[in-house]
Amino acid sequence: MANLSPELNVRLQRLIPKLSSEATGEVIATVDAIKRTLDKAGLDLHDLAARLSEVPRPVHPNNQSLHEHPDLLMMASWLLANSFSRLTYREISFVQNVKQTLTKGRPLSPRQTSWLRDLFIAQKANYND
């Protein structure tokens, strides 16, 4: 898929907020304007949707997720430092991905959180034996 040019980005940034209008006619006109703008660039709405899904979320060093769950990052770090040889390849990959996700300030899913806690508890119990 072609990249969106800076000019195209600016035009779409001006048009997209108009989609929230209460006036149905304005919304329809805006959709038509977006389609024309994309068409001129050789793109369509599917290309725009695909491009938007590729855009990474901004990463901020002070992101809330890291501050809300420092214990999760500590668990991942401890597992990699102290239980690396006792973890399966799948568990190592999981913990490395979790650590990277948390370091970037992104939250874990409830299932990821649960698995990380379970691994930590099990490995910590084995470590103290």
The residue with tokens 């379970």 is: 118
pLDDT score of 55: 47
**Is the pTM for the entire model greater than 0.85?**
no
Query: Alpha helices, DSSP H only, in 16-129?
Result: 24-40, 45-54, 64-68, 70-82, 89-103, 110-128
- Which tens digit of pLDDT belongs to each residue from 39-75? 888 888 888 887 776 645 444 444 444 445 568 999 9
